[in-house]
Structure 1
């Protein structure tokens, strides 16, 4: 179970990035299950020593510059998580684009 403070920090960082439609359920078995509002289904966390590796699964709008959006998500999530931990923990942030939605 991932700490609610960590999930809230990730959620607040990601929802402000232009081009992100929603979080993606990494355990989805069908296309209909991919989009989720439940961030706990979209974040994977592994811990080693004083470094945490976070993988955030998202859905993007088709036509955005994927590299720019993913980079922005990485920067914002890393900063927010390090700020919450008062910069005593290091975070590696991976972003997985699980789907593209045509708007």
Structure 2
């Protein structure tokens, strides 16, 4: 797994915390449900760099009762746009959002 630049992680974090329905990030390496919630963005992002696209798998916990599809789509749109804006639209990004739990 490649490392993620800190400025990229900050952009992702700032984009996600503003999405209504997101409770917290989720630690994808957690051994139990109690260890899932995390405020550390680096524990919630998996990164894959292919030939011409940077792909992120972002783990979140969302609020029970919200429209899951709408929340996930909003996260994808915001993250992708903010990352591409940061790179002046010269780099392609893909964001896969994983819901690890509902709160």
Q: Report TM bin, short chain.
A: over 0.9
Gaps of 5+ in 1: none
The TM-score with structure 2 as length reference comes to 0.95
The TM-score with structure 1 as length reference comes to 0.95
Gaps of 5+ in 2: none
Measured against aligned partners, the alpha-carbon deviations of 1:14-66 in whole angstroms (never above 9, x if no partner) come to: 00000000000011111111000000000111001221111110000100000
Matched, 1:6 2:8: yes
Q: Which residue, out of 53, 58, 61, partners 1:56?
A: 58
Question: After the TM superposition, which parts of structure 1 deviate over 3 Å for at least 4 consecutive aligned residues?
Answer: none
Kindly tell me the number of residue pairs found equivalent between the two proteins: 101
| 1:44 paired residue number | 46
